[in-house]
Amino acid sequence: MAKKTVKDISVANKRVLVRVDFNVPMDRETNAITDDSRIREALPTIKYLLDQKAKVILCSHMGRPKGPNPKESLAPTAKRLGELLGKPVQMAKDCIGPEVEAAAKSLAPGAVLMLENVRFHPQEEKNDPAFAKSLASLAEVYVDDAFGSAHRAHASTEGVTKDLPSVAGFLMEKELKFLLGAVTNPDRPMAAVVGGAKVSDKLAMLEHMADRVDAMMVGGGMCATFFKARGYEVGTSLLEPEMMAKAAAVEAKAKKRGIPLLLPVDVAIGDKFAADANAKTVAPNAVSPGWMILDIGPKTVELFANELKRQKTVVWNGPMGVFEMPKFAAGTEGVAKAVASLKATTIVGGGSTAEAIHKLGLASKISHVSTGGGAALELLEGKTLPGVAALMDK
């Protein structure tokens, strides 16, 4: 699925509509951006276009607004982008309409216009053809650099491609190189580390990866469902009884293929789901009634780390515990440090996992930290992303 990129198309003096993912975390009280990494990730594509003297028109969503809402305006991202570029970024009052069309037409080469939140219009998520046509009419070329939204067939991610020559930006190219590479042609041996709260959220990935990897490690709250399927008592741990048979089937598939599927050999448990819970570490078959599994234990971190040392490719999706609570953060931190220490291709996907890597200051030691939670997961499940499929092939 090799796609044309911004380097494969002429953009000089052209109006270029760039779909970015500026859905950044905000402090709603102060209207301040709390993490600008998504804006920074888009800089290589934007700077390349500016160097080519393109007229850059950026579009993105922010949050899930029900109509126009000043609290979900993209104005703060335009201001921050201007600071990072060292040049003003013009902010439009809307993303379609005569005023926006006039602003786009009057753009000088090397200038940047930020459109207002596309989700202020319900037609965006409905992939309404007329709305998509209005967006496309602003430009002569479309560049998709919003991997985090590529799993959605929306007007600004898929609809506009019907009216404009459409290519990938550098961030999109990088995401596809690492994530598709991991699924289709990895350096072996390859391991998947899967965490998070629910088996149901990760089942398709677990099933897909169980056919492809050379080792699997499962942590996070989803362990309780695997343990219950083995007949262990799990106290008040988050449990998905309807997923027990599927969890057992994933274990059986790994066994049939002769690959290790490692579950925790010790777990950190708490007497309530709270930062001030009483905590202790026990064997997975020794969870006390009224207690819940909230992290993997130190012996499991060591077990996972030793298995990871053998790998040439590692894909990690989902935290090992409730890392937002200091008492239950050690598992995620331990696995993060183990992954970061490897001389292998390491890929971290999923919003929470990426957040943990950034929080620990380890992002520079990971080959690729994906900007797309749902999109990364769907690629690892073997699905086709509509926003990617719509781009021109090489």
Task: Tell me the catalytic residues.
Answer: 38, 198, 351, 374
Residue 220 backbone zone (phi > 0: left; psi -120 to 50: alpha; other: beta): left
* Bridging pattern class, strands 32-33 and 90-91: unpaired
Q: Which two tokens stand for residue 125?
A: 């998520």
User: 62 and 119 in contact (C-beta within 8 Å)?
Assistant: yes
Q: Which residues contact 10 (CB under 8 A, 6 or more apart)?
A: none
Q: Which pairs from 248-257 meet CB under 8 Å and 24+ separation?
A: 250/203, 250/206, 250/207, 250/210, 251/226, 253/207, 253/210, 253/211, 254/210, 254/216, 257/210, 257/211
- Dist. CA 82–CA 79, nearest whole Å: 5
One-letter amino acid of 25: P
Say how far residue 155 (Cα) sits from the centre of its chain.
20
User: 351 and 196 in contact (C-beta within 8 Å)?
Assistant: no
